[in-house]
Each structure stands twice: as C-alpha cells, then as structure tokens.
Amino acid sequence: MLSENNNAEIRKRAEAKAKRQAESMATPTEKLIYELNVHQIELEMQNDELRASQQEVQKARRQYEALFENAPIGYFLFSRQGGILDVNHHGALMLKAERKHLTHKPFVVFLPRDTHPRFFRHLQSVFEREEVVSEEMPFSDRSGGLLWGRFESRLQRNAAGEDQCFTAIIDITDRKSMEQDLIAAKEQAVAANRAKSHFLANMSHEIRTPMNGIIGMAELTLDTELNKEQQGYLDAIHGSAESLLAIINDILDFSRIEAEKITLEHRPFSLSILLGAVQDLFRPMVDNKGISLELNQELNGHDAFIGDANRIRQVLVNLVGNAVKFTHEGRIQINVKGLETEDGRVELRIEVKDTGIGIPEAQQHEIFQSFTQAEGNYGRAFPGSGLGLTISRSLADLMGGSLSFESGEDQGSTFRFVIPLKATTLTPEEVTKPALHNNQPHVHTTHVLVAEDNAINVLVIRTLLEKKGYTVTCAGNGHEALEALSTQDSIRIVLMDVSMPGMDGVTATRKIRAGEAGSAVKDIPIIALTAHSIKGAREEFLADGMDDYISKPFNQDEVFEKIQALLNKELT
C-alpha cells in the first residue's frame, strides 16, 4: 500500500500531465474528460509504484529465506508450549532429522530431562517478559548424540500477529569439549599436587619419629660425663640432626601451604619481645662471625598487636638467618617501622638489611621459587632446603602482607616484610617460660604411663622422665595401655603415641574415656605424643578426648611443662 505522501505526489504529477493534454479544452464535457484522464493517469502511476514495492518486498523475503535456509546456524521458531513451528536446514541437520518430521514436534524430546525446566523458563522470559534471552544448554540429536548449544532467543510476530519465539542455536560442542578437557586437566594437576603434598607430609611424619630418637639420645648422652673428643662428636651429631630437622620442617610447612592446611592464629603479642628474641637467637652466630646485628624500632608507641606471632617470627628468623649466612663482614640491620593506616590498623614494615654477598641479577627471578637457591654452589657452601623464602612469601601473603627484596652482587641485600596488624591495649601473655616441674612439690611421686611402640623413643622418654624423678610404666600399644591403667591405680597421667600396632592411641583414648579401663581413670589426663604435626592435628586429637598435644621431635622442657600443667589442673 502506498503512503499518503506518495499518493499526493502521484496526484500532482497526474494533474500536470492531464493539464498539458487538455490545454485547448473549454467545454464542460471536455473538463470532465480532463478529470477522468487525471484519475486514470493517477491509477496507472500507483500501480507502477505498487509493483515496484512488491518487487522490493519479494526481494527482501527471498534474501531472508535464503539467510534462514542457508545460514550455518540452527534457526527455530517455537510456540509458547515449546513446539517447533519451523526450522531451517542447518537446524534439521543439527538434530539429524528431516524438516517435515520436526514440524509441531515438542523440542524437549531433544533435551536431557533435567534441562526441561530451564528450557521452559527460557521460553517464559521471551513470551511473558519479552526479553532477549541467551544461555547455554545441552541437547541431543535424533540418534542420541550429546551436543551443546548457545540459545539466543527473542520475540517476533508472524503475519497474522501471533507471537513466536525466534531462536538461533549456535553449536558450541567443540568449545565445551575443550573446556571440559581443561577442567579435567586442572583437576588432575590439582590432584597430583595434593598427592605430592600428601606424600611430603607423610614422609615428614615418618622421618620425625626416628629423628626424635636421634636428637633425644644425643641430648641424653650430652648430659653425661664425656671427654672433649666425645663431646665434639656428639655436638656434631646433635647439630646435624637439628639441621636435618629444620629441612624436614621446611618441607612439611611447604606441603601444608600447598595443601591449604595452614590457618593463622589471632592472639595478642608483644612485638618488642618477639624482635628481642630473634636478635638474641642470632647473637652468638654474629659474634662468632665478627659482624654486628642491630635492631632499630620506630613504632610510634605501639607494641602490642593481634596476629600470629609464631608465623611472624618464622619469617623473621628465615630472613635474618639468610642474612647471617651470607654476610661475612660488616653488619645486619633489622629496621622496624609502624605506620597507622586509614582503617585504624598499623602497617608494620620490617626491613632486614645486610652487607653480604648479595644476589646476582640473573638469579633474582628464582629467589622465591621452590627448592631453589640463588646459585648452584650455594648448595655446597650454604646448605638448606631452598624453601625458606618460598614459605616466607607464602606466609606473608596469607597474613595479607608482602615480601620483596633489593639486591646486587657484592652489594648486600635488603628484604622488606610488610604486614597489616591490629594494635591492641590487651596485655599479651608472658613470653618467659614457666618454671619446670622439677621445682614443683611431689614431682617424685608422680606415676606416668608412656604408650609408645618405638623402642628408641621409649628409651628417650623413659630416661628423661626418670631423671626428673617420675615413676614410669611403658606400654607398646593401646591394649597394653588399657591393661596398665586397669591394674595400676597409681598412674596419674598418660603420654599416648597416636600410631601404634594392634590398637592406636586415638582408639585407646576413646575406650579410656568410655570407662573401659575403669571408672577411676575415666578422666585421667592424656597427652598425645605424635609425629603428626599437620595443622589441625592438635584440634583433632583434643576432639578425640586427649587433653594436650606434643609433636615429635619434642623439646624436653615442653614435655615437663605440659605434664606439670595438667597435674596442677587436676589439683585445682
């Protein structure tokens, strides 16, 4: 149909043409003929315009049909109920079906059952909210082959004014397959990494048990009368064992971090006490090397903070230890500043600066990599696991801070440890250790049950306790521990190994708490004595009914302190 503007233009042109033909006409009849002539010319022109418009419409329709039919995308027209009203050639190929068999067929027959609700919600968004909807869904062809498509849908109306859902389905099966392969590869990599970390943790656990025997026996022997040569040999054994234990602890910490098994404590602590302890730890070493270790603090009146003091100390010990290791002359500075931030916290900036050998520029990019040291020959001159800086940076990240450095060959190194902490007015717990139990009354009357299957560890623990005056009974497994408790009523406390043959320590503890060794010892203090030192192990053993936890290799003082603390608790 022609528009009003087109009609007016045609009328104007028809009048002009008729006027030229009738300029000589003057009678009324001739004027009527003129009007009829104008009308005829107008109709002819309108017909010409209509034919041209129809041709344009037909041309556009042919182009649309060609696009609909030949596009490499599946085009579908859906009813409100999800029936297929029409589909193009490519859509039929995707479904491996003939077009004539698809008309009025419900599309859900090609969808997995759990996808049906999604498809109908998709249609609802188009028909009721008139939204343009795009989402990815799986579907299958007529033979059952699984495909993935991106459904792009919008509302349109046909010639009769009826609503239809026009949907373009783009085949993304190859992309989805690649994504799933990548996900599977990532999961395999994560599983492999976890397996590696689990292996490292297990091996560290297995090594810690004999290490406890080596260190314990060396310490016991060092407490006896020795000549100078024997003292030197045993000092070397003890020092080598401590070095090996440090490497084991590094590997264990590394496996914990990789397995995301480290959680941070948030307790009040004194920074000045912590820094002083680190300085005191390295003072004999720097004095022996003839270098100085300086501590400079600018904390603006802050000293007590909330955080994980043990992890902060671990980072500082590593940084200062490296500085001492690689500095042969000059000095080492520990510079500490505290800057208040807008959120009311204090940004602690700790700088460890040395005048040592420095790190060559070519090796600086490897300094934080696992099991890597700055130079290959460092492994001979400066032994270690190569994990210290890796662990330190990971701990800094966990605490919301950062660890960076500046260095140059023969120009020394500066490591910067930055961490945000919350200042507090709470009084931190005293860092000084409590008096050992041998100064407490009645220590020589205490009867201790040691449940441990490793003969060397039994010898170490028994000797340590008996030297302090304790009476000791030993059990090689959980069964023997239960029997000892049920027959010896003088036992007041139990050191319980976790991994033992026959009956493990956890099972034995549960049976004791259940009264199977007698109601009189149902609540006897039990300390877990174990090489299991993964983060969370202490909490797990406490949940199993134990009262405290000591990790192997253990510190003698720690054993006595925890025994006495539980005995004192029993008296209150």
pLDDT tens for the chain, 572 residues long, are 455 566 677 667 766 766 666 555 555 566 677 677 777 777 777 777 777 777 776 766 666 666 667 677 889 999 999 999 999 988 999 899 988 889 889 999 999 999 999 999 999 999 988 888 999 999 999 888 899 999 999 999 887 889 999 999 999 999 998 998 999 898 888 888 777 767 766 776 677 777 777 887 888 888 788 888 888 778 777 777 776 777 677 666 666 666 566 677 888 989 988 898 888 878 888 888 899 999 998 887 788 899 888 889 888 988 998 898 889 999 999 999 988 887 778 899 999 999 988 888 877 777 776 544 444 433 334 444 456 788 888 888 889 999 998 888 888 899 999 999 988 876 544 433 333 333 343 444 689 999 988 877 888 888 888 888 899 999 989 999 999 999 998 999 999 988 888 899 999 999 999 999 998 899 999 998 877 655 556 778 888 899 998 887 777 788 888 898 888 887 66
Say whether the peptide bond before residue 553 is cis (omega within 30 degrees of 0): yes
CB 79 within 8 A of CB 85: yes
DSSP-based helix, strand, coil % in the chain, nearest 5: 50, 20, 30
Alpha-carbon span 332 to 296, nearest angstrom:
11
Q: Residue 153 in contact with residue 166, Cβ under 8 Å?
A: yes
Q: Is 383 within 8 Å of 302 (Cβ atoms)? A: no
CA distance 196 to 332: 37
The pLDDT of residue 441: 38
Given a contact cutoff of 8 angstroms between Cβ atoms, the answer to whether 232 and 507 are in contact is no
pLDDT tens for 483-500 read: 999 999 899 999 998 888
Q: Give the C-alpha distances (Å, rounded to integers) separating 559 from 158, 323, 446, 564.
A: 87, 33, 14, 9
Phi, psi of 520 (to 5 degrees): -70, -25
SS (H, E, C) 78-127: ECCCCEEEEECHHHHHHHCCCHHHHCCCEHHHHCCHHHHHHHHHHHHHHH
| First-to-last C-alpha distance (Å) of the chain | 104
Q: Report d(CA 238, CA 219) in Å as an integer.
A: 7
Task: Decide: 110 and 140 in contact? Cβ < 8 Å.
Answer: yes
Where are the extended beta strands (E) located within 213-308?
267-270, 292-298, 304-307
Q: How far apart are CA 108 and CA 96, in angstroms?
A: 15
Q: Sign of torsion, CA 38 41 43 48?
A: negative
Is the pTM for the entire model greater than 0.75? no
Run of H or E including 455: helix 455-467
CA dist 478 and 549 (Å) reads 17
User: What whole-number distance in Å separates Cα of residue 263 and Cα of residue 276?
Assistant: 25
> From CA 154, how far away is CA 76, in angstroms rounded?
11
Amino acid (1-letter code) at residue 300: N
Nearest CA to 354 out of 303, 284, 286, 304 is that of: 286
Burial class (CB in 10 A: 0-12, 13-18, 19+), 191: exposed
- The alpha carbon of residue 235 and the mean position of all alpha carbons in its chain are separated, in whole angstroms, by 42
Q: Are 413 and 319 a contacting pair, CB within 8 Å? A: no
Residue 295 contacts residue 334 (beta carbons within 8 Å)? yes
Cα separation, 563 vs 446, whole angstroms: 10
Q: Please, are residues 333 and 353 in contact by the beta-carbon 8 Å criterion? A: yes
3-state secondary structure of 418: strand
CA distance 159 to 147: 33
DSSP assignment of 176-239 equals HHHHHHHHHHHHHHHHHHHHHHHHHHHHHHHHHHHHHHHHHHHHHHHTS---HHHHHHHHHHHH
> Is the CA virtual torsion 74, 77, 82, 84 positive or negative?
negative
**Tell me, what's the pLDDT at 536?**
58
